[in-house]
Chains A and B, each alone.
Chain A
Amino acid sequence: MNNDYIEKVITELKARGASDISVSHDTIFVSVESDKLRSLVEYIHNELDCYFRTCGGCDERPINGFFALYHIFGDDKHGLNIVVKTYASSDDPKFPTIVDIVPAADWCEMEAHDLLGFEFTGRRQYRLVLPPNWPKGLYPLRKEVPYNIRPKPSTSGEQISKPTNIAAIPIGPYHPALHEPEYFELYIEGEKVVDVKYRGFHVHRGIEKLGETRMTYQQINFLAERICGICGFVHSTCYCQAVEKAARIDVPERALFIRSIVLEVERIHSHLLWVGVAAHLLGYDTGFMHTWRIREPVMVLAELLTGSRKTYGINLIGGVRRDIDESKKKKALEFLDIVEREFKTLADTLLSIPQIKKRLKETGILPKEDARKLSVVGPVARASGLDRDVRRDLPYAAYKYVDFNVPVYDEGDNMARLLVRVDEVFESIKILRQLLDQIPKGPIIAEDITIPEERMAVSLTEAPRGENVHFVITGRGKPYRWKVRAPSYQNIPALKIMLNGVQLADAPITIASIDPCFSCTDRILVIRDNGEKYWLKLTHPRGGSSCPRSL
């Protein structure tokens, strides 16, 4: 890491009012007065060219008598995180909004508004995460609210659709491809989509509250793994990394290798699953069946390495619970050969079908500038020419020991997103061969773990869908604050640009092309509007008609 660069950044931050500066690992923590927050954020986002990762509120009244808001930025080029903390008084938690500077902050500000009762001055505020009939003035993430509270529902004024002159096609609340609860309303003129309304959060499960109250440090690994049904191991790895970073625990190298191996196995299974679903959506069910047939050995391999086909349950703070012996290693290499050979043939066939090519090429385009503005992550970013991958930019687990390419395409269409994922399957196989070959000997879990209180850490992992963020403040026996941001959260807003003007028949594949994970996202929340720039808008979930300026 570039220490001179960190020094330079710190001097600049100080000049803009930042205080309490500390550097830990790859993260710079600063505090700032709320009246200087906006100018500091403007500098970090625009001049340092940092991506916005997320923001999270915290009820710190029991510790210091204040509410606090943490804005997390990421400098991928220099492998840095910048966490900006702002305080507000306990009786009137008001913060200036940064949404006009950083459009990506819309959702997390509204999440803090819902869950902690924060007021954001200078923007329109609305309910987002909580169900519409949750009573007003009850803020579940405040420390005095018990985790198992069941308030009497208040009446809901929500209207899903309003009559308009344009035909509205509902998709959901069950997605035609991904079988998860979310609701799209596509407004069409003729066969063309002209507007989209999105309503999510049907499965907000309050897991952050659960983690901060009912669970212990080691139990949360298993809860975190259940954030997502497809890429759960990424979440549990991200959570234990955050705690390990905060508590400065040295994880044995062998454990890091095992984590990386399982993460890559998970990526292959996730991408193969997606390719199958994409083929199914394009009406090519033969391709779907064969992709999933090829995926089967990957699932068996996961079970062999971890004990379960999914929700592997082998992560603990300090290491992993299952070792990989020589016989498993041999079996893994055999399976990888089969998957590589078979998927190569199938992918070639799939990509040679004229109908598939036609459906994917030049549909659902996300231009590079828009992708950057929306800070999209993962294969969606890489298909739109953004060269970002946490595994390379801020290496974690054992990724610094392996060579791999990060496939980047500039077209930004559905085809590019398919190609990125197909390429990544082969890259993952390449990574797995190196990891299995280099895996060092030694223990797989650290002994005698102590986790001091009131330490902070930000941890990132590259999920099959993109960058995952977990933010942890340690507490006694359990985290004081645990904040999660899943990749689909960053990517769903890009849909409104992708769907702009597509044929209705191409809408399902376009929606599916970001590989959205609604369970992950809904545990946080959704909805964003990028101002007047685009005529196609994701409308506000409760407002009914298209909202001209929700931020």
Chain B
Amino acid sequence: MSEKSLGKKLGLFKILIIAKKAGRVTRKYPFEKPLVTDEFRGKIEIDEKECIGCGACANACPPNALKLIKGENTFILQYFIGRCIYCWRCIDVCPTNAIKGTREFELATPDLNDLYESVVHDVIKCRECSKPIMTVKAKDYIISKVSVSENYIDLDPDCRKKHFLSSIEKRFSGGIE
């Protein structure tokens, strides 16, 4: 008897043929390789050498998993995997390609600290008000792109404004206060 006519006779028991054909579909994960495809988006990895601490990724990150924490002497780029939604927007926006995507997703851990990754950056300070402006690496990166910026990059934006205004003032007043 052909399978088709058999199926007709069986009616609702056709499910037996379906089940026989499908066989066992349960996989032996985690004792075999994970079942994700090559396209899968998992956890990200930040290359400390390449990262310049500009904060572009922190601006783009929808759930605030990436944060640029600005301190007096250091800027810290912090990645908290617990908040990450694996959208890889940070990879799209990173100017130096310091962030790489991986296929890792088995991230459960009993220790919350395992879910934090940080990159620490030294900062440059304003030569007048000594407020931290940006990371040393970001400064070097900007100068490599726009060499003329070397003249004013070590000034805080507020101090830069003051400089600009006073230079205009000088020009119009002839230097007399």
Chain A interfacial positions (CB closer than 8 Å to B): 215, 218-219, 221-223, 286-287, 290, 293, 296, 300, 303-308, 311, 313, 321-322, 342, 345-346, 348-349, 352-354
A488–B169 Cα gap in the complex (Å)? 65
A348–B4 Cα gap in the complex (Å)? 13
Binding-face segment, B47-55, B80-88, B122-130, B133-141: B80-88
Is B110 on the interface with A (CB-CB < 8 A)?
A: no
A352–B87 Cα gap in the complex (Å)? 43
How many A-B contacts are there with CB distance less than 8 Å? 61
Pull 6 A–B residue pairs with CB atoms less than 8 Å apart, ordered by A.
A215-B62, A286-B19, A303-B39, A307-B41, A308-B40, A352-B12
A400–B12 Cα gap in the complex (Å)? 40
Minimum-distance CB pairs A-B, first 8: A222-B62, A307-B41, A219-B62, A313-B87, A353-B12, A349-B14, A307-B39, A304-B37
| B25 touching A293, Cβ below 8 Å | yes
A215–B62 Cα gap in the complex (Å)? 7
Question: With A303-B37, A307-B40, A313-B85 in contact, do A346 and B62 touch (Cβ < 8 Å)?
Answer: no
A285–B89 Cα gap in the complex (Å)? 40
A387–B19 Cα gap in the complex (Å)? 37
Is B60 on the interface with A (CB-CB < 8 A)?
A: yes
A134–B67 Cα gap in the complex (Å)? 31
A304–B60 Cα gap in the complex (Å)? 24
| A352 touching B14, Cβ below 8 Å | yes
Question: With A219-B60, A286-B19 in contact, do A303 and B36 touch (Cβ < 8 Å)?
Answer: yes
Question: With A222-B62, A223-B62, A300-B37 in contact, do A307 and B12 touch (Cβ < 8 Å)?
Answer: no
A303–B19 Cα gap in the complex (Å)? 26
Is B150 on the interface with A (CB-CB < 8 A)?
A: no
Which residues of B are found within 8 Å of A348, using beta-carbon distances? Answer: 14
Which residues of B are found within 8 Å of A321, using beta-carbon distances? Answer: 92
Is B22 on the interface with A (CB-CB < 8 A)?
A: yes
Interface membership of chain B positions 79-116, coded 1 if the CB is closer than 8 angstroms to chain A and 0 otherwise: 00000011111001000000000000000000000000
Which residues of A are found within 8 Å of B61, using beta-carbon distances? Answer: 219
| A308 touching B12, Cβ below 8 Å | no
Which residues of A are found within 8 Å of B87, using beta-carbon distances? Answer: 222, 313
Interface majority SS on A: helix, strand, loop or mixed?
Answer: helix
A403–B102 Cα gap in the complex (Å)? 39
Which residues of B are found within 8 Å of A293, using beta-carbon distances? Answer: 22, 25
| B40 touching A303, Cβ below 8 Å | yes
Question: With A222-B85, A303-B36 in contact, do A286 and B62 touch (Cβ < 8 Å)?
Answer: no
Distance from B5 Cβ to chain A, minimum over Cβ atoms (Å): 14
* A219 (CB) vs chain B CBs: closest residue: B62
Which residue of B22, B39, B40, B63 contacts A290 across the interface (Cβ within 8 Å)? B22
Which residues of B are found within 8 Å of A296, using beta-carbon distances? Answer: 25
Which residue of B15, B37, B40, B92 contacts A286 across the interface (Cβ within 8 Å)? B15
- Residue among B37, B60, B86, B89 facing the most chain A CB atoms (10 A cut-off): B37
Is B71 on the interface with A (CB-CB < 8 A)?
A: no
A259–B39 Cα gap in the complex (Å)? 17
Which residues of B are found within 8 Å of A223, using beta-carbon distances? Answer: 62
Is B11 on the interface with A (CB-CB < 8 A)?
A: yes
Which residue of A218, A313, A354 contacts B41 across the interface (Cβ within 8 Å)? A313
Is B18 on the interface with A (CB-CB < 8 A)?
A: yes
Which residues of A are found within 8 Å of B15, using beta-carbon distances? Answer: 286-287, 290, 349
A9–B135 Cα gap in the complex (Å)? 60
Distance from A67 Cβ to chain B, minimum over Cβ atoms (Å): 30
* A223 (CB) vs chain B CBs: closest residue: B62
A352–B17 Cα gap in the complex (Å)? 15
Which residues of B are found within 8 Å of A219, using beta-carbon distances? Answer: 60-62
A296–B37 Cα gap in the complex (Å)? 13
Which residues of B are found within 8 Å of A221, using beta-carbon distances? Answer: 62
| A346 touching B18, Cβ below 8 Å | yes
| B60 touching A307, Cβ below 8 Å | no
A354–B13 Cα gap in the complex (Å)? 12
A342–B25 Cα gap in the complex (Å)? 14
* B14 (CB) vs chain A CBs: closest residue: A349
| B18 touching A290, Cβ below 8 Å | yes
Which residue of B19, B25, B62, B86 contacts A308 across the interface (Cβ within 8 Å)? B86
- Residue among B11, B18, B19 facing the most chain A CB atoms (10 A cut-off): B18
A300–B40 Cα gap in the complex (Å)? 10
| B37 touching A290, Cβ below 8 Å | no
Which residues of A are found within 8 Å of B85, using beta-carbon distances? Answer: 222, 311, 313
| B39 touching A304, Cβ below 8 Å | yes
List 17 additional contacts besides A222-B62, A313-B86; criterion CB under 8 Å: A215-B62, A218-B60, A218-B89, A219-B60, A219-B61, A221-B62, A290-B22, A296-B25, A300-B37, A303-B40, A304-B37, A307-B40, A307-B88, A308-B41, A313-B85, A345-B18, A346-B18
Distance from B11 Cβ to chain A, minimum over Cβ atoms (Å): 6
* B63 (CB) vs chain A CBs: closest residue: A222
* B25 (CB) vs chain A CBs: closest residue: A293
- Residue among B19, B39, B89 facing the most chain A CB atoms (10 A cut-off): B39
Distance from B44 Cβ to chain A, minimum over Cβ atoms (Å): 13
A349–B21 Cα gap in the complex (Å)? 15
A305–B37 Cα gap in the complex (Å)? 10
* A331 (CB) vs chain B CBs: closest residue: B37
Which residues of B are found within 8 Å of A305, using beta-carbon distances? Answer: 39
Which residues of A are found within 8 Å of B89, using beta-carbon distances? Answer: 218, 222
Which residue of A290, A306, A352 contacts B11 across the interface (Cβ within 8 Å)? A352
Which residues of B are found within 8 Å of A287, using beta-carbon distances? Answer: 15
Which residues of B are found within 8 Å of A311, using beta-carbon distances? Answer: 85
A290–B19 Cα gap in the complex (Å)? 8
* B92 (CB) vs chain A CBs: closest residue: A321
Which residues of B are found within 8 Å of A222, using beta-carbon distances? Answer: 62-63, 85, 87, 89
* B64 (CB) vs chain A CBs: closest residue: A214
* B61 (CB) vs chain A CBs: closest residue: A219
Which residues of B are found within 8 Å of A352, using beta-carbon distances? Answer: 11-12, 14
Interface membership of chain B positions 21-57, coded 1 if the CB is closer than 8 angstroms to chain A and 0 otherwise: 0100100000000001101110000000000000000
* B93 (CB) vs chain A CBs: closest residue: A218
A321–B92 Cα gap in the complex (Å)? 9
A308–B40 Cα gap in the complex (Å)? 6
Which residues of A are found within 8 Å of B62, using beta-carbon distances? Answer: 215, 219, 221-223
Which residues of B are found within 8 Å of A342, using beta-carbon distances? Answer: 18
Distance from A548 Cβ to chain B, minimum over Cβ atoms (Å): 46
Distance from A319 Cβ to chain B, minimum over Cβ atoms (Å): 12
Question: With A215-B62, A223-B62, A313-B87 in contact, do A349 and B18 touch (Cβ < 8 Å)?
Answer: yes
